[in-house]
């Protein structure tokens, strides 16, 4: 009986990140996203509301990415946003798997297309090269969020 309970608990712990990711419409693989996030740690960190660092280092170039899935672009408080991200925020554009993927693959191009303003630029100079990595990154970030 105890063995069955332990096996059930282990299965729950292994599938919990996937369940959180799926709840945010993520089709990627959170485990692969964790590996892909290594590209992001020079600028980004994921710190939950309790102050616990879930991923990354104490990077402050980019915003804390905790809870971004389902939020509006540029909504993390206490961060100095570029005019391009401010425009996405003012337009009320939500971070979904689709918008996140498009943004991280071409930040400036996405901002210009989404806002219709070709003079805006993104401050993020890094581009995720593959759509698969972008989908996995979104799934990973979504998996770190509280329910």
pLDDT of residue 91: 95
Could you tell me the pTM of the whole model?
0.80
Going by C-alpha positions, the residue among 112, 66, 116, 74 that lies closest to residue 93 is: 74
- Using DSSP's 3-state secondary structure scheme, residue 53 falls into strand
pLDDT of residue 78: 83
Domain of 49: which CATH number?
Answer: 1.10.760.10
pLDDT of residue 147: 52
Q: Is 22 exposed, middle or buried (0-12, 13-18, 19+ CB in 10 A)?
A: middle
Which contiguous run of DSSP H or E holds residue 136?
Answer: helix 131-143
State how beta strands 53-56 and 45-47 pair: antiparallel
| Separation between Cα atoms, residue 67 and residue 141, nearest integer Å | 7
Residues with pLDDT less than 70, the chain: 1-26, 146-147
pLDDT of residue 25: 62
| 15: containing domain | 2-143
- Using DSSP's 3-state secondary structure scheme, residue 85 falls into helix
pLDDT of residue 23: 44
State how many domains the chain has: 1
pLDDT of residue 16: 43
pLDDT of residue 59: 76
- Using DSSP's 3-state secondary structure scheme, residue 42 falls into coil
């Amino acid at each position: 009986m105890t063995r069955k309970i332990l096996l059930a608990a282990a299965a729950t712990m292994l599938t919990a990140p996937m369940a959180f990711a799926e709840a945010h419409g993520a089709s990627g693989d959170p485990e692969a996203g964790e590996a892909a996030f290594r590209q992001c740690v020079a600028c980004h960190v994921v710190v939950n509301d309790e102050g616990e660092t879930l991923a990354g280092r104490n990077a402050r170039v980019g915003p804390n990415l905790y809870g971004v899935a389902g939020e509006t672009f540029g909504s993390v408080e206490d961060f100095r946003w570029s005019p391009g991200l401010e425009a996405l925020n003012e337009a009320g554009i939500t971070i979904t798997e689709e918008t996140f993927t498009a943004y991280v693959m071409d930040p400036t191009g996405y901002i210009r297309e989404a806002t219709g303003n070709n003079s805006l630029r993104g401050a993020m100079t890094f581009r995720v090269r593959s759509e698969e990595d972008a989908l996995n990154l979104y799934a990973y970030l979504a998996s770190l969020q509280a329910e």
